Every structure is written in C-alpha cells, then in structure tokens.
C-alpha cells in the first residue's frame, strides 16, 4: 500500500544508490525508496557520472529482494528499464524507446537510465539472499544553455518532448510501482513476456552498432535484439554473431566509435 511505503527524501546526497545500499545492508525493508533533489556523485553504468542538478531531474533508488536465483538477477535490469519506460508513457503519453540494456531514449537521445546494484545484509551467514538496489535517473528538464560537452549531442529531457506540466512526484510514484510490478512478473517466471514488451520498444533493433569486447576489440554489426536470456546479439559484416554480456553499444554516428 502506497501510504505505508517508506520513502526517504533527501535534499542532497552523493548518490541515492549508495544510501540505499547502506540501508539494505542494515536490513531496510524491501520496497524502501530513497529519492534526492540533487546528487553530488550520481553514478551510471560503467562508472559514468550521472548529472543530477537540483530540480532538473528525478533521482531515486528502490531496495528490492526479488525471489530469483542469482543467475536471473541481470534480468531485473531489463525489467526495470521497461518499467520506467511504461511509467513515462503513462504519465506523459510519450513513446520512449530503450537502448540495450536500459537507456531510455526520446528521438534517439537519452533522457533516462537505470543502475542496478546488489548488496547483502550485514553479518549474515554464507548463502544469504542478496538484495538489489534499482536506481533510476530521469532528465525532466534541460539545463539552461542546454546539455554540455559529451552530453550535448546525445542527451535530452522529457520537457523537450511535451507541453505537459512536469513534476517529479507523480513520475516517482508511477516509476516505483511499475518497477515493483515488472519485478513481480519476473518472479512469476514471465521473463519472455517482459522481453516481448521490451522488444516492442527496442530503439536500436536492426541498426548498425559498435561494441568493444572485453578483450578490447571493436565489433561493428547489426543489432538483432536480445536473446531469450536478455543477452544482446550483434551480427557483424562477416556474419559472425557476438553476444554482448557487458559494456555498452553505440549507434554508428551517435557515440564513441
């Protein structure tokens, strides 16, 4: 029930994910949310910085303890990306797309992302169940003067795509409940359905991508979308299939190449 949910509201913090991880280690109940007006060290995937100026975005993290075997935990990230996408669709009648694994795009530019991290309750015995922290960042507004430097060509905000009034609170509530719903579907074993809905929103399917393998080799190929386990497949010019298990993919002409 929404009015019983514990929501920790902070004016300023380093990272809501860091706060949520600490709370999870201390035994915070699943469903606890941490939201901040600004983050001084907001972080994204691959150790990237997440720009979090006050009043310009929604920055929150939710602690969950999904009933899933550890090997299924990476699927939580895809499920959460779909959830946030659905929340934006419902709140603003927009049609965002997703770039694997969970960048949210409007007109090909990123306005939202998810960082999933795992922690363990402090002092528990081996074999203990992990908890996950799902952190979501959404650019609600574009900073005065526009996004700068490496964000200039690739970032956007919801405000750039709608005339509706935008406020963080309704999107927070919609996002939190959508994330919980998608994770519950995952627990019920509905990943294939989640994946189908995810693929309806796949913003890079059939497009040419580049990816740098863990060995440092650059692969250029066509995105075939995720397989049944959510692993992205790319087919290169020689017809060789590559499974993207980590790192990032970039559309040719739209990122570091």
CA distances from 207 to 30, 95, 254 (A): 38, 19, 12
User: Considering beta carbons, is residue 45 or 205 the nearer one to ligand BTN?
Assistant: 45
Q: Which of these ranges, 88-96, 111-119, 169-177, 208-216, lies near ligand BTN under the rule CB under 6 A?
A: 111-119
Select from 23, 24, 37, 42 the one that contacts ligand BTN (CB under 6 A).
Answer: 42
Select from 82, 91, 103, 203 the one that contacts ligand BTN (CB under 6 A).
Answer: 103
Residue 156 binds ligand BTN (CB under 6 A): no
Could you write out the three-class secondary structure of the chain? CHHHCCEEEEEEECCHHHHHHHHHHCCCCCCCEEEEEEECCCECHHHCECCCCCCCEEEEEEEECCCCCHHHCHHHHHHHHHHHHHHHHHHHCCCCEEECCCEEEECCEEEEEEEEEEEECCCCCCCCCEEEEEEEEEECCCCCCCCCHHHCCCECCHHHHCCCCCCHHHHHHHHHHHHHHHHHHHHCCCHHHHHHHHHHCECCCCCEEEEECCCCCEEEEEEEEECCCCCEEEEECCCCEEEECCCCEEECCCCCC
Residue 59 binds ligand BTN (CB under 6 A): yes
User: Considering beta carbons, is residue 48 or 128 the nearer one to ligand BTN?
Assistant: 48
Select from 25, 38, 44, 90 the one that contacts ligand BTN (CB under 6 A).
Answer: 44
Q: How far is the CB of 72 from ligand BTN (least distance, A)?
A: 20
Number of chain residues interacting with ligand BTN (CB under 6 A): 20
User: Considering beta carbons, is residue 44 or 225 the nearer one to ligand BTN?
Assistant: 44
Binding mask 198-237 for ligand BTN (x = CB under 6 A): ----------------------------------------
Position closest to ligand BTN via CB:
113
User: Considering beta carbons, is residue 151 or 222 the nearer one to ligand BTN?
Assistant: 151
Residues that bind ligand BTN (CB under 6 A): 15-17, 39, 42-45, 48, 50, 59-61, 103, 113-115, 135-137
């Amino acid at each position: 029930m929404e009015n019983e949910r514990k929501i920790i509201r902070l004016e300023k913090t380093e990272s809501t994910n860091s706060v949520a991880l600490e709370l999870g280690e201390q035994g915070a109940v699943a469903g606890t949310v941490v939201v901040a007006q600004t983050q001084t060290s907001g972080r994204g995937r691959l150790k990237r910085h997440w720009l979090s100026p006050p009043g310009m975005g929604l920055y929150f993290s939710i602690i969950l303890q999904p009933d899933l075997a550890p090997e299924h935990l990476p699927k939580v990230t895809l499920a959460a990306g779909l959830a946030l996408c659905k929340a934006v669709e419902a709140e603003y009648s927009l049609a965002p797309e997703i770039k694997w694994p969970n960048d949210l795009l409007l007109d090909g530019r990123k306005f939202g992302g998810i960082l999933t991290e795992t922690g363990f309750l402090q002092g528990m015995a081996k074999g203990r169940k992990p908890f996950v922290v799902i952190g979501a960042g959404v650019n609600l507004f574009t900073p005065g003067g526009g996004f700068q430097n490496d964000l200039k060509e690739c970032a956007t905000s919801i405000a750039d795509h709608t005339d509706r009034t935008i406020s963080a609170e309704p999107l927070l509530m919609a996002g939190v409940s959508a994330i919980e719903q998608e994770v519950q579907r995952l627990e019920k074993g509905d990943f294939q359905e989640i994946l189908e809905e995810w693929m309806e929103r796949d913003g890079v399917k059939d497009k040419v991508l580049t990816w740098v393998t863990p060995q440092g080799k650059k692969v250029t190929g066509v995105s075939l979308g995720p397989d049944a386990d959510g692993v992205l497949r790319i087919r290169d010019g020689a017809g060789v299939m590559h499974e993207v298990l980590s790192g990032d993919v970039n559309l040719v002409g739209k990122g570091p190449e």
